[in-house]
C-alpha cells in the first residue's frame, strides 16, 4: 500500500505544473507509471502489456469526465490512481508492509507546485491508516515526507518486497483464538471475486469458527476417550479413593431410642469429632421391679471423650433431656438448646447440684454451631412443647437432617409454624440422610392442631359450671396448660398446679413468658379449700398412670390435700404411651369407683407427625438415605414404607438397632459394627448397679417367693450341729402349711447326712445338693419353683 502511495506521489509531482508541460523528472515519472501498471496487471490477471496504452487512454477518458476545472493531465492520472487505490484499500485486500523512504532534497522544491495532488494523497493516506488501526480516530501518518523517488529506489523497494513476501503471495495477519498473531496467506491466482468481494473480517470470522469447531471436536473426543478408560478400568477409582480422594465417611451410632418410646440419644462421629443429639431417659417397664428410671449406656462416649464436642438437644421432654443430670456428672460437656429447653435442663441440673459447673448455651432458631468437623443448625418445628427444633447437621459426608419430635401445625397456640421453607432450601441444596420421627408413622392423615383441643376445653368448661375440674396432662405440654388457663379466666376460675414436675415446668414457663395469665389466677394448693368447687380447676400430673404421680395418689385416696368425690370431673388430656395402657386404665377405674366423671375422648392431640406430614417432609427434603428413628420397630418399618413410596430406594432405607454403627457416605449407608449400648437402670442413688442378674432374681422372687435353709456344721469334724431350719417368704403361709415345712426339713437333713457319709466337706457342693434336693421335692408337691437360699454357719 505504501509502495503504491510513493509511486503515485512521484507521478503527481511530475505533472504538478498547471500548464501540462513535462518537468525535468517527467520521463522518470512516466517510466515508474508503466512499471507500476505492468506489475499491477500481472498481479490481477489483466490484459498483456501491449494493451497498456489503450487501458491508459480509457482511464484518461474516464478521469477527464470527472476532472474539476484547473487540473492537469498528470493530476487526472494521479487522481484516477488514487481513487483505485482507495477502493482497493476499503475492500481490505492488501495489507502489505510499508517500506520506509527517504525524501530527496531535489523533491523538496516540487512540494509547493502541486498542492492539490498533495491534499488528495494525504487524505488517502489518513483513510488507509484509519482502516488499518480499526479505530474511530485516525492515526498520524508521515505522508508529508513521502516524496517521489528515483527509478532505482522504486525497483529496489519492489525487489525487497518480493523477497519478503514472494512474487505470487499476499500476506495478511489476524489474531489466533489463543491470542497469538497468525499470518494468513492467499495466492494471487485465486478468482478476483473471491479475493475482492469477501471482506477480510468475514474470512477471519470463518477461520475462527472453524478453529473453535475443531477444538470442541477434539475436546469431545478426549472426553469420550477418558470415559471409555474409566469404564474399562474401574480399579483406578478405587486406588485413588484409598489415597484419600474418595467420598468422606462418618459414623452414626444410635445409643438409644430405637426399641422403645424414650431414651433418645444418637452420636455422630467423624475422624476428629463426635456430637451427640439428645440425652433422654425412659420409664421402667412392668417387669423392672424397683427401678425408678432408665438412662442410656454411654460407655462408648466415655472411651472417646476427647472427641466429643457437646450435646445438642431438640426439645425439653424427659425422653430427650432426662438423662443429662446423670451423664454430665462424669462428662462435663457443653449443652446447646433453645431458650425454654435450656431452662428446663437448668431445673434438673439444679436438683442434681451440678448446675454451677454445667456448660449450658442458649441457641436461637437459625443459629449454626461449630463443633469440630460438624456444623449444627437449629430449625423451628412444632411439637407438644414449645421451642422444639430440628437439627441440620452439616458433616464432612453431607447434610444430615434430624427432625427431632415434630408435627406440622399451621396454627400453633404460641409462636410460629414450622419452618418448611428452610426444609425446602436444604432439600434443594441436597440432603444426604433424613432421620425423622416415627411415632405416628402408622397413623394415616394429618395430626390435628393444638387449637382443636382448645375448642374441646371450651365445651367442657361451659358444660360443667357447677363441678370442680381436674385436668391431667403432661407437665411439659405448655400450650395445653395455656389453653386451660385461658378458659379458667374466661369462666372466673382459679388455677391450682399440682405435681412436682408440673410445678417446675409451669413456673419456668411463666417466668420466661411462655405462659401468660392475669395476676391472681394462679393459687397455691393450700388455698383450694377457700374456694367452692365450681371456682377451681386443678392441673396435675399422672396422665400416664404413674404410681407416684399426683392423680394416681388422688385416685387411691393417698393424696393429703385433694379428695376425689362425685362432684369432680377429671379430664385425661393425653394418650397412653405404649406400655402404659394398663396403668392408665387402673387409674380411670379407681376414679370411677369414687363416682367421679372421667372424660378422655377428644381431649388430646398428638405432638408427632402422621403419615401425610411425613410425606410432606420427605417431598421437601428429598433425601438420598432414610434412617427412621424415635419409635418401636413397627413404627420405624412404617416410616420406611413411606420413604420408599416417596422415591427412596429400598436399599437406601435403613432399619438400625441400638448400638449399631452406621457407615454413611455419598455412596453407602450400611451397618458395619456394633458398640456397647443399652439401658442402665437407676434404683435410688445407684446407677447401673442393678443388672440383668439382679432383675432376674427380683422377678423370680416376685413370682415364686423364697425359702431360706439355715444349718450349722462343726469346724473340724463337719458334723451337723443344728438345723436345718426353713424360713419362707412369698412362698406359702407357714402357719397353714406346717406339715409341708416339716417334710421339707427332713428332706434337707437326709441330703446333708448323705454328703457327710461320703466325706463331702466343700460347702459349695453341700449347698448345691440342698438346693437341688429341696427344689425337686417342692416341685413334686406344689408345682412351684421358689428361690432356695442355703446358709451354712461354722461352729
pLDDT digits (tens, 9 = 90+) for 352-385: 999 999 999 999 999 999 999 999 999 999 998 9
Q: How many CA atoms lie within 13 A of 625 on its CB side?
A: 26
pLDDT value for 246: 65
CA–centroid distance for 80 within its chain: 79
| Mean pLDDT value of segment 210-230 | 71
Predicted TM-score (pTM) of the model is 0.65
> What percent of the chain is predicted at pLDDT more than 70?
71
Pairwise pLDDT comparison (35 vs 166), residue with the higher score: 35
For residues 615 and 646, is the Cβ–Cβ distance under 8 A? yes
Tell me the C-alpha distance between 520 and 538, whole Å.
15
| Mean pLDDT value of segment 558-585 | 88
| Mean pLDDT value of segment 7-16 | 40
Q: Confidence class of residue 208 from pLDDT cuts 50, 70 and 90?
A: low
pLDDT value for 753: 81
422, pLDDT greater than 90: yes
pLDDT value for 445: 94
pLDDT value for 382: 94
| Mean pLDDT value of segment 98-119 | 41
| Mean pLDDT value of segment 725-749 | 84
Q: How far is CA 161 from CA 3, 96, 164, 315, 554, in A?
A: 9, 9, 5, 90, 120
Catalytic residue among 297, 387, 437, 660: 437
Of 462, 459, 505, 465, nearest to 481 by C-alpha is: 505
Question: How wide is the angle at C-alpha 716 spanned by C-alphas 713 and 721, nearest 5°?
Answer: 25
Q: What phi and psi, each to the nearest 5 degrees, are found at residue 488?
A: -60, -40
The C-alpha R_g of the chain, in whole angstroms, comes to 52
> What percent of the chain is predicted at pLDDT more than 90?
41
DSSP 8-state assignment for residue 103: P
- DSSP assignment string, 166-224: -TT-EEEEEE-TTS-EEEEEE-TTS-HHHHHHS-HHHHHHHHHHHHHHHHHHHHHHHHH
First to last CA, the chain: 138
| Mean pLDDT value of segment 440-448 | 93
13, pLDDT greater than 90: no
Note if 608 is an active site residue: yes
Tell me the C-alpha distance between 571 and 602, whole Å.
10
Residue ranges of E strands in 302-373: 308-312, 334-337, 359-362, 368-371
pLDDT value for 724: 85
What is the average pLDDT value for the chain, to the nearest integer? 77
Pairwise pLDDT comparison (381 vs 30), residue with the higher score: 381
Mapped onto helix, strand or coil, the DSSP state of residue 274 is strand
C-alpha cell of residue 218? 477434539
Kind of pairing between the strands at 522-523 and 597-599: unpaired
| Mean pLDDT value of segment 487-498 | 93
DSSP 8-state assignment for residue 629: B
487, pLDDT greater than 50: yes
C-alpha cell of residue 167? 512474487
The string of pLDDT tens digits covering residues 610-625 is 999 999 999 999 999 9
| Mean pLDDT value of segment 558-580 | 88
| Mean pLDDT value of segment 478-507 | 91
C-alpha cell of residue 403? 427432625
Tell me the C-alpha distance between 450 and 482, whole Å.
11
| Mean pLDDT value of segment 302-309 | 94
pLDDT value for 440: 92
Note if 437 is an active site residue: yes
Tell me the C-alpha distance between 443 and 190, whole Å.
85
Q: How many CA atoms lie within 13 A of 715 on its CB side?
A: 1
691, pLDDT greater than 60: yes
The string of pLDDT tens digits covering residues 142-180 is 444 444 444 444 444 444 444 444 444 443 444 444 444
Question: How wide is the angle at C-alpha 776 spanned by C-alphas 775 and 777, nearest 5°?
Answer: 90
The residue assigned the cell 508521515 is: 142
Count CB-CB contacts under 10 A for residue 505: 27
51-65, 226-240, 593-607, 682-696: range with highest mean pLDDT: 593-607
Catalytic residue among 604, 608, 630, 635: 608
Count CB-CB contacts under 10 A for residue 175: 11
pLDDT value for 790: 87
pLDDT value for 372: 92
For residues 13 and 147, is the Cβ–Cβ distance under 8 A? yes
Alpha-helix runs per DSSP H in 678-737: 692-704
Tell me the C-alpha distance between 311 and 346, whole Å.
14
Tell me the C-alpha distance between 386 and 365, whole Å.
12
Mapped onto helix, strand or coil, the DSSP state of residue 121 is helix
pLDDT value for 227: 65
> What DSSP element (H or E) covers 708?
strand 706-713
Write the CB contacts of 686 (distance below 8 Å, at least 6 apart in sequence). Answer: none
pLDDT value for 199: 57
Q: How far is CA 251 from CA 248, 254, 268, 310, 396, in A?
A: 11, 10, 6, 16, 11
197-201, 478-482, 758-762, 763-767: range with highest mean pLDDT: 478-482
Count CB-CB contacts under 10 A for residue 585: 12
C-alpha cell of residue 57? 487512454
Q: What phi and psi, each to the nearest 5 degrees, are found at residue 58?
A: -65, -40
Q: How far is CA 159 from CA 3, 5, 195, in A?
A: 11, 17, 24
Amino acid at each position: 500500500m505504501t509502495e503504491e502511495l510513493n509511486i503515485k506521489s512521484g507521478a503527481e509531482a511530475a505533472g504538478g505544473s498547471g500548464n501540462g508541460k513535462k518537468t525535468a523528472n517527467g520521463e522518470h515519472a512516466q517510466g515508474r507509471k508503466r512499471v507500476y501498471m505492468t506489475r499491477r496487471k500481472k498481479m490481477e490477471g489483466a490484459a498483456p502489456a501491449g494493451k497498456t496504452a489503450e487501458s491508459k487512454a480509457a482511464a484518461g477518458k474516464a478521469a477527464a469526465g470527472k476532472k474539476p476545472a484547473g487540473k492537469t493531465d498528470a493530476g487526472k492520472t494521479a487522481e484516477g490512481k488514487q481513487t483505485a487505490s482507495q477502493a482497493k484499500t476499503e475492500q481490505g485486500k492488501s495489507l502489505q508492509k510499508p517500506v520506509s523512504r527517504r525524501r530527496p532534497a531535489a523533491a523538496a522544491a516540487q512540494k509547493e507546485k502541486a498542492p492539490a495532488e498533495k491534499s488528495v494523497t494525504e487524505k488517502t493516506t489518513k483513510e488507509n491508516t484509519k482502516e488499518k488501526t480499526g479505530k474511530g480516530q485516525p492515526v498520524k501518518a508521515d505522508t508529508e515526507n513521502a516524496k517521489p523517488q528515483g527509478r532505482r529506489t522504486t525497483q529496489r523497494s519492489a525487489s525487497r518486497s518480493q523477497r519478503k513476501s514472494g512474487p505470487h503471495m499476499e500476506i495478511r495477519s489476524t489474531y489466533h483464538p489463543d491470542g497469538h498473531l497468525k499470518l494468513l496467506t492467499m495466492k494471487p491466482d485465486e478468482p478476483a471475486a473471491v479475493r475482492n468481494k469477501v471482506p477480510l473480517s468475514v474470512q477471519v470470522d470463518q477461520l475462527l469458527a472453524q478453529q473453535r469447531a475443531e477444538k470442541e471436536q477434539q475436546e469431545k473426543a478426549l472426553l469420550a476417550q477418558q470415559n471409555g478408560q474409566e469404564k474399562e478400568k474401574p480399579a483406578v477409582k478405587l486406588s485413588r479413593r484409598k489415597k484419600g480422594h474418595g467420598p468422606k465417611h462418618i459414623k452414626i451410632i444410635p445409643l438409644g431410642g430405637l426399641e422403645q418410646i424414650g431414651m433418645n440419644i444418637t452420636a455422630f462421629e467423624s475422624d476428629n469429632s463426635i456430637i451427640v443429639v439428645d440425652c433422654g431417659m425412659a420409664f421402667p417397664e412392668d417387669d423392672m421391679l424397683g427401678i425408678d428410671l432408665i438412662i442410656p449406656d454411654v460407655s462408648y462416649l466415655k472411651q472417646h471423650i476427647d472427641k466429643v464436642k457437646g450435646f445438642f438437644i431438640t426439645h425439653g421432654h424427659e425422653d430427650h433431656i432426662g438423662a443429662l443430670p446423670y451423664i454430665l456428672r462424669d462428662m462435663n460437656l457443653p449443652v446447646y438448646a433453645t431458650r425454654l429447653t435450656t431452662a428446663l435442663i437448668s431445673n434438673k441440673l439444679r436438683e442434681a447440684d451440678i448446675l454451677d459447673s454445667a456448660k449450658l448455651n442458649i441457641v436461637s432458631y437459625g443459629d449454626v454451631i461449630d463443633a469440630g468437623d460438624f456444623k449444627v443448625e437449629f430449625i423451628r418445628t412444632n411439637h407438644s412443647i414449645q421451642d422444639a427444633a430440628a437439627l441440620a447437621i452439616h458433616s464432612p459426608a453431607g447434610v444430615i437432617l434430624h427432625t427431632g419430635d415434630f408435627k406440622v401445625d399451621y396454627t400453633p397456640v404460641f409462636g410460629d409454624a414450622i419452618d418448611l421453607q428452610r426444609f425446602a432450601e436444604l432439600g434443594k441444596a441436597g440432603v444426604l440422610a433424613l432421620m425423622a420421627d416415627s411415632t405416628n408413622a402408622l397413623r394415616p392423615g394429618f395430626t390435628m392442631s393444638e387449637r382443636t383441643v382448645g375448642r374441646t376445653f371450651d365445651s367442657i368448661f361451659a358444660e360443667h359450671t357447677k363441678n370442680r375440674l381436674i385436668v391431667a396432662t403432661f407437665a411439659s405440654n405448655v400450650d395445653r396448660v395455656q389453653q386451660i388457663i385461658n378458659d379458667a379466666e374466661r369462666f372466673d376460675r382459679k388455677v391450682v398446679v399440682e405435681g412436682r414436675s408440673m410445678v417446675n415446668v409451669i413456673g419456668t414457663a411463666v417466668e420466661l413468658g411462655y405462659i401468660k395469665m392475669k395476676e391472681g389466677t394462679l393459687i397455691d394448693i393450700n388455698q383450694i379449700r377457700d374456694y367452692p368447687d365450681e371456682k377451681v380447676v386443678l392441673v396435675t400430673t399422672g396422665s400416664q398412670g404413674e404410681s407416684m404421680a399426683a392423680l394416681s395418689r388422688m385416685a387411691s385416696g393417698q393424696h393429703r390435700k385433694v379428695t376425689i368425690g362425685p362432684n369432680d370431673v377429671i379430664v385425661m388430656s393425653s394418650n397412653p404411651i405404649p406400655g402404659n395402657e394398663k396403668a392408665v386404665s387402673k387409674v380411670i377405674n379407681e376414679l370411677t369407683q369414687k363416682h367421679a366423671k372421667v372424660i378422655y375422648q377428644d381431649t388430646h392431640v398428638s405432638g408427632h407427625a402422621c403419615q401425610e406430614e411425613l410425606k410432606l417432609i420427605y417431598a421437601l427434603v428429598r433425601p438420598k438415605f432414610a434412617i427412621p428413628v424415635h419409635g418401636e420397630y413397627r413404627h420405624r418399618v412404617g416410616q420406611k414404607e413411606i420413604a420408599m413410596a416417596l422415591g427412596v430406594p429400598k436399599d437406601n432405607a435403613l432399619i438400625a438397632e441400638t448400638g449399631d454403627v452406621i457407615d454413611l457416605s455419598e455412596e453407602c449407608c450400611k451397618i458395619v459394627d456394633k458398640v456397647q449400648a443399652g439401658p442402665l437402670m437407676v434404683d435410688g442413688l445407684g446407677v447401673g448397679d442393678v443388672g440383668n442378674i439382679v432383675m432376674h432374681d427380683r422377678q423370680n422372687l416376685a413370682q415364686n417367693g423364697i425359702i431360706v435353709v439355715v444349718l450349722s456344721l462343726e469346724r473340724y469334724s463337719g458334723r451337723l450341729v443344728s438345723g436345718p431350719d426353713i424360713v419362707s417368704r412369698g412362698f406359702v403361709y407357714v402357719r397353714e402349711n406346717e406339715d409341708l415345712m416339716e417334710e421339707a426339713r427332713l428332706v434337707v437333713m437326709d441330703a446333708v447326712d448323705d454328703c457327710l457319709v461320703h466325706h463331702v466337706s466343700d460347702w459349695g457342693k453341700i449347698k448345691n445338693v440342698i438346693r437341688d434336693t429341696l427344689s425337686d421335692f417342692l416341685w413334686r408337691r406344689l408345682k412351684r419353683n421358689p428361690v432356695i437360699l442355703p446358709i451354712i454357719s461354722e461352729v
